[in-house]
Amino acid sequence: QVQLVESGGGLVTPGGSLRLSCATSGTIFRIYNMGWYRQAPGKQRELVATIHSGGSTNYADSVKGRFTISRDNAKNTVYLQMNSLKPEDRAIYYCNLYGYGLNYWGQGTQVTVSS
């Protein structure tokens, strides 16, 4: 059974940083692509960043230069380093595993940016 468990969310002031983690189990992590999505209140879920099994990355324009996605295949974990956070980054952040016909989601972790 594939499981994705996010952690690292919380409350941070504007300009601050957070690092989200997504620990996976039940599958061969290294062969899958991973992504981070977010959903703000009243809005649709949107792509934040992806990292392919080979390590190539892709970012939403709104987070380029501020967020960094990375993966540790030895720990079956994907990370999202978020710097220079803005109030508009407030959302529930979801981890996504996809590829080879699979598509799994974590339960989400709340990120709140407020002074």
Q: What percentage of the chain has pLDDT greater than the value 90?
A: 93
Token pair of 24 as six digits:
């996976």
Residue 28 has a pLDDT of 87
Query: Quick one: how many helices (H) and strands (E) in the chain?
Result: 0, 11
Q: Mean per-residue pLDDT for 63-88?
A: 97
Q: Which amino acid, one-letter code, is at 3?
A: Q
Task: Name the phi and psi angles at 29, rounded to 5.
Answer: -50, -45
Rounded to 5°, the CA angle 48-3-92 comes to 35
DSSP letter string, 71-111: EETTTTEEEEEE-S--GGG-EEEEEEEEETTEEEE---EEE
User: What is the C-alpha to C-alpha distance for residues 43 and 39, in angstroms, rounded to an integer?
Assistant: 6
pLDDT (tens digit, 9 = 90+) per residue, 17-59? 999 999 999 888 998 999 999 999 999 999 999 999 999 999 9
Per-residue exposure over 33-59, b if at least 16 CB sit within 10 Å of its own CB, e if not: bbbbbbeeeeeeeeebbbbebeeeeeb
